[in-house]
């Protein structure tokens, strides 16, 4: 598993630094890709990140790569985001599991949206409480790490 992340995620991102992407820009791409990649409504993050990347002239490949890497975590966090949203507005928790949600999705997207509307709203609210802060903190933490990585890569290239 470590080798998978090394070759499929870390190496391509570090290659972008070698190709001249600034550490700050890469940090922003990673933070946005990870944070919005966790948005708890399936199918929303890819077009949203594409719009953001094009509007901000960010590296689309980096953002989408990180977003796709977050897909398993996104699925795991849908219920906790839903519970946080329910708690925030004082709603009664809905009896929902990931398996039940996937069964509903199998009936068709329109049927799923109608059936899961309250859960979608609650999960979105839960993400809105934590997501923007998580994106900001991730960005601020990654800047110095990527600046050091960039310096190390430049030194290694000089040798």
DSSP state of 41: S
121 neighbors 89 (Cβ within 8 angstroms)? no
pLDDT digits (tens, 9 = 90+) for 147-157: 999 998 888 77
Segments making up each domain of the chain, as ranges? 2-158
Q: How far apart are CA 136 and CA 102, in angstroms?
A: 31
Average pLDDT value over all residues in the chain: 91
pLDDT digits (tens, 9 = 90+) for 113-147: 888 889 999 999 999 999 999 999 999 999 999 99
Residue burial 99-137, b: 16+ Cβ < 10 Å; e: rest: eebeebeeeeeeebeeebeebbbbbbbbbeeebeeebee
Q: For residue 159, what pLDDT band results from cuts at 50, 70 and 90?
A: low
pLDDT over 90 percentage in the chain: 62
**pLDDT at position 126, please?**
97
């Amino acid at each position: 598993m470590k080798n998978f992340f090394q070759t499929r995620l870390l190496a391509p991102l570090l290659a972008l630094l070698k190709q001249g992407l600034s550490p700050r820009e890469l940090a922003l791409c990673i933070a946005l890709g990870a944070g919005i990649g966790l948005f708890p409504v399936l199918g929303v993050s890819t077009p949203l990140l594409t719009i953001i990347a094009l509007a901000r002239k960010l590296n689309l490949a980096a953002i989408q790569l990180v977003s796709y890497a977050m897909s398993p975590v996104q699925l795991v966090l849908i219920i906790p985001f839903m519970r946080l949203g329910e708690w925030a507005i004082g709603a009664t928790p809905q009896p929902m599991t990931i398996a039940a949600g996937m069964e509903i999705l199998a009936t068709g997207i329109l049927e799923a949206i109608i059936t899961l509307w309250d859960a979608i709203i609650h999960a979105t609210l839960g993400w809105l409480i934590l997501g923007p802060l998580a994106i900001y903190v991730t960005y601020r933490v990654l800047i110095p790490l990527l600046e050091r990585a960039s310096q190390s890569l430049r030194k290694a290239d000089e040798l």
